[in-house]
Structures are given as structure tokens and as C-alpha cells.
């Protein structure tokens, strides 16, 4: 009976191991920047969002709040939001990468993950830009877009990429 579940158990075991390794590595990364405020990757995301906002006419400046490990967005001289570690989408990306590598298919796995990470990076930066603009221009919608709309954007992107991976790459030979 266990023989019937061996492929599923192998995928599940790979997922758990990859997920835990990436999670611990990320936690180690975060711990190494505890004393210096927001981690460099999250700060980079904030800078990219501010760059785009400045380019589209929303004068944006950032304030690093080192003791509280956050970056404040000031858009057109008004505080609109703050960037914390959770806004960088790394926890979602770790889950995504672990899932894709659980269904490992050689070199194309690395190519797909690389392309997907670029897509998720762009989606996340645009999500933050969108949140800042909506909060600046329509603060009454802040809670709805922050809590529901924009998380759906990033999670929806992950689910679509998972479905593409499964349909066109991971199970391609099994369906033939």
C-alpha cells in the first residue's frame, strides 16, 4: 500500500524539506539585520516603489525608521503607508519556490523559477505602488485594498504560476 503513495510522499517530503531550509535561511538573513532596521531587500523594494511613484507623478520620499524596522512612504508630502518586512512577499515566494521544486523537472525548473521570481517581484512592487496611490488619493478604500485586493493580487499571481507549472511542465509527460 505504501508503494502506491511513494510518488506523493516524495513530493511532499521534498516540499517540506525545501520549505524549511528556505524558511530557516530567510530567518537567519532577517536576524543578521535586526540592529540595522528594515532588511536590505525590503528597503530595496520600498525604493523601487518610490522610484516608480516618482516617475508617474507621485512625489515620494522615504523615511527609515530603524528602531521599528520599517520605512515610511511620504507621497506628495503626506504619510500614506509604511513598509515592513512582511510587505516584501518573501514568505509567499518561499512557499512558491518550495512547491515548484517539489515537482522538480531538471533545468526547466530553474528557468521557470527564475522567470516566475521576476514576475512576482514586479507584481509585488506594483502592488505596493498601487496601495500607496489608492491610500493617497482614496484613503477610504485603504483597508479594503490593503487587506483584500492587493493580497489577492500577489496570491493570485502565485496560484496562476503554480497552475502553469503543473499544467505545462510538471505533469506534461504524465498527460501524454
pLDDT greater than 90 at residue 47: yes
Note the pTM of the prediction, 2 decimals: 0.90
What backbone torsions phi and psi does residue 138 show, to the nearest 5 degrees? Answer: -140, 70
Asked if 58 contacts 136 with a C-beta cutoff of 8 angstroms, the reply is: yes
d(CA 147, CA 138): 15
Dihedral (CA of 42, 51, 95, 25) sign: negative
Is residue 24 predicted with pLDDT exceeding 70?
yes
Distance separating alpha carbons of residues 143 and 167, to the nearest angstrom: 35
End-to-end CA distance of the chain: 26
Q: Which of 25, 22, 14 is nearest to 170 (CA)?
A: 14
> Which tens digit of pLDDT belongs to each residue from 136-168?
999 999 999 999 999 999 999 999 999 999 999
Amino acid at each position: 500500500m505504501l508503494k502506491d503513495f511513494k510518488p506523493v510522499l516524495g513530493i511532499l517530503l521534498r516540499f517540506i524539506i525545501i520549505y524549511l531550509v528556505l524558511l530557516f535561511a530567510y530567518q537567519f538573513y532577517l536576524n543578521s539585520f535586526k540592529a540595522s532596521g528594515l532588511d536590505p531587500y525590503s528597503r530595496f523594494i520600498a525604493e523601487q516603489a518610490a522610484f516608480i511613484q516618482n516617475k508617474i507623478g507621485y512625489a515620494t520620499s522615504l523615511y527609515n525608521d530603524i528602531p521599528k524596522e520599517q520605512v515610511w512612504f511620504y507621497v506628495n508630502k503626506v504619510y500614506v503607508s509604511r513598509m515592513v518586512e512582511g510587505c516584501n512577499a518573501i514568505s509567499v515566494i518561499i512557499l512558491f519556490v518550495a512547491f515548484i521544486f517539489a515537482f522538480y523537472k531538471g533545468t526547466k525548473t530553474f528557468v521557470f523559477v527564475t522567470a516566475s521570481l521576476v514576475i512576482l517581484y514586479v507584481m509585488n512592487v506594483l502592488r505596493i505602488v498601487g496601495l500607496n496611490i489608492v491610500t493617497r488619493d482614496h484613503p477610504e478604500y485603504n483597508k479594503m485594498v490593503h487587506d483584500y485586493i492587493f493580497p489577492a493580487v500577489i496570491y493570485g499571481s502565485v496560484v496562476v504560476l503554480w497552475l502553469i507549472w503543473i499544467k505545462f511542465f510538471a505533469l506534461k509527460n504524465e498527460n501524454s
